[in-house]
Amino acid sequence: MKKMLKAATCLIMVLGLTSAAFAAATHTITVKATIPTLNGMTVTLSKVVGTTFTTQADNTLMDFGTLTFDTVNSIFTAAYYFALDIGVLNNAAWTVQHTPSTIYNRTTGNTAQKLDSNINVSFFNQLTSTTANNIAKVSFLNSARTVTSTNIATGWLRIYYGIGTGDPANPDNTGVTPILSTQPAGNYQGSVTLSLTP
């Protein structure tokens, strides 16, 4: 009986060793990476004449200069317009708030003398340097807008600012009229504020 037990034990040990040796060898390695939070905004200002863009060294000032009086149409016009390219560096859902501050006559100090309804503001989702999707075309007066990361799935946000021309071939945005000859002379100034959250 003892002998049988011993033989059985040996057999089990041998079988055990053999099956262990034939088992598949497996190793698992963990792969890790951490992506940090991004939160930033770059603003590039260009002066546009026709279709030629010239990047401005100072991206804090859009100066239309002294407007030109168009004696044919009896309106004031500008020789150029501006494009503001806004690159958002953010890897979570984001919002860019565009807040206008009235462009009024600083010479007279009369806030009722303003150009808010005379300037086109057009928001685009720029896909490449030559292709874009329109987001909104409004007057400076109505340019308080929120653009979200949903609006800019790819590419970047571009905002154009241009004095109204009254040209039916290139219609001004809704609510924009040209600056008439009756507009009081003076230095007009206002601002736009762009805020990124979070």
Partner 1 sequence: MSCIKRITGISICVVLLSGLCGRANAASSKTVTLRASVPVISGVTLNAARATGAQLASLGEASTLDFGTLIFDSVNHIFTASDYFAVDIGIENNSGPWTLTHTPSSIYNRTTGNTSQNLDTHINVTFVNQLDDTQANMLSKVSFANSAATFTSGQISTGWIRVYYGVGTGGPEDNPGVTPILQTQPAGAYQGAITITVTP
Rounded distance between C-alpha atoms, residue 107 and residue 183, angstroms: 13
How many positions of this chain bind partner 1 (CB under 8 A)?
26
Q: Which is nearer to partner 1, 37 or 71 (CB)?
A: 37
**Checking phi first, is residue 82 left (phi over 0); if not, alpha (psi -120 to 50) or beta?**
beta
Residue span 125-164 as binding mask against partner 1, x where in contact by CB under 8 A, dash where not? ------------------------x---------------
Q: Which is nearer to partner 1, 40 or 109 (CB)?
A: 40
Q: Which is nearer to partner 1, 80 or 156 (CB)?
A: 156
**Residue-wise burial string across 8-28, b where 16 or more C-beta atoms lie within 10 A, e elsewhere:** eeeeeeeeeeeeeeeeeeeee
Per-residue tokens: 173: 């945005």
Exactly one of 1, 5, 31, 169 binds partner 1 (CB under 8 A); which one? 31
Residue 3 lies near partner 1 (rule: CB under 8 A)? no
Q: Using CB under 8 A as the criterion, which residues of the chain lie in contact with partner 1 when the complex forms?
A: 17-18, 21-38, 87, 89-92, 149
